[in-house]
Amino acid sequence: MLNFIWLALILCAVVLGAADNRLSEVTGAAFDSAKAAVMNIALPLMGVFALWLGMMRLAEKAGIVQILARALRPFLQFLFPEIPKGHPALGSIVMNMAANMLGLGNAATPVGLKAMKELESLNPHPGTATNAMCTFLAINTSSVQLIPATAIGMLVAAGSKDPTAIIGTALIATACAFTAAIISVKLLQHLPVFRIPPAEKVSEYAPSTEEVSTPLAGWAKTILVAFAFFFLFIAWRLMETGPSPGREIFTNLVRVASQLAIPLLLTFFPLYAALKRIPVYEEFVEGAKEGFQTGVRIIPYLVAILVAIGMFRAAGGIQLLSDWLQPILRPLHFPPDLLPLALIRPLSGSGANGMFAELVHSHGPDSLMARMGGTLVGSTETTFYVLAVYFGSVAISRTRQAVPAGLIADLTGILVSVFICNLVFGSK
């Protein structure tokens, strides 16, 4: 399906550009997007990948990944029945989901790519996405977020009196999108067009001897307890000194968790591994090497998808779709001013943020339109970018049901955002 979408974007961009005398803009967008894919996205991501994949190697060697997988085994078995019990992919998936829930995109993507690599090791059909891969992509294009940090930050910058008002609406919208993604990806996999030959199922994953970690000594457990109390003390201080101490407990808890998550992970993984007598520096470097290799592998896929999107945008395709769809959506009480943001969100994160900023500027940071836009941004994802990065990292070309499931999740998030905001903020 991605083949047809990519070709349609390219052809429509050229046809529309020629019809509207924008061929020079279309050409410029193609080269600018290709440059941005490498210079502005792939290269900066290599450092981030190296950091988090190095940390993930320490987590694997220390047995943290296996502990996470065992703790959430029933839930993961429901979502991923194809993955053998005890496989390291399960722990990586849990860490990816947790990072997404806290809005830690810089940590979620490298960990997610690690999970994709581990899922590829189970793939009996190289180049074709497995059911587990499609489910994992559906989760990433619709992951539940406790706090839409980007949208709230933009509302704060615009002078909103209540920027956190969208937390509840975004949580409901993204929960609905997540549910729609899981249901659709599970149903679509049974359609003949997406079906693949069944693979032999492995009931249990047998870890190698080097993956089986030894238990912690008593003195090591004492150090970990002291470490935990130290971070609890920091969390208490942050709760007391926050912008609304004693009020909005949920908001403060999520804010503190987001602030402490990265420092906690960056210190806990190396400390725990060191207490297991693992050579932390050498293992981190070995894991970090994968980051650069992953960054190089995703470049062609990023260039392909971003060039097509950039050309289509420069040719006026987004505006044309908005004009066509407005008469259909107006009877559904879908605001016409919100349509361009809804159309660009699955294609471009930076473009969606720009359109959201324009909405906030035009209607005011506390307007119904701004809150609809913030909820929409916080409950949907740049689906095609996610597909290009995740599938590109393991050279998947046949994406099967991942694209329609991701778009269904986006559509659900968009429609629920409009409905819930009208319900909550419409009378104010």
Of 66-80, 281-295, 327-341, the range with the highest mean pLDDT is: 281-295
Would the pLDDT of 213 be above 80?
A: no
Phi-psi region of 395 (alpha: psi -120 to 50; beta: other; left: phi over 0): left
As beta bridge partners, residue 398 has 128
Helix, strand, coil percentages (3-state) for the chain, rounded to 5, are: 75, 0, 25
Token pair 């020629």 in the structure block, residue? 18
pLDDT one-digit tens code per residue, 260-292: 877 888 899 899 999 988 999 999 998 888 878
Average confidence score pLDDT of the chain: 83
**pLDDT at 247 (0 to 100):** 45
pLDDT band of 1, cuts 50, 70, 90: low
Distance CA 52, CA 287 (A): 8
At residue 172, does pLDDT exceed 80? yes
Q: At what angle do helices 368-379 and 349-363 cross, to 10 degrees?
A: 170
Q: What is the pLDDT of residue 245?
A: 45
pLDDT at position 208? 53
To the question of pTM greater than 0.85 for the whole model, the response is no
Phi, psi of 394, rounded to the nearest 5 degrees: -125, 20
Write out pLDDT tens, residues 346-377: 887 777 888 888 888 888 999 999 999 999 98
pLDDT at 246: 43
Residues 341 and 379: beta-carbon distance below 8 Å: no
Is it the case that residue 220 has pLDDT exceeding 50? yes
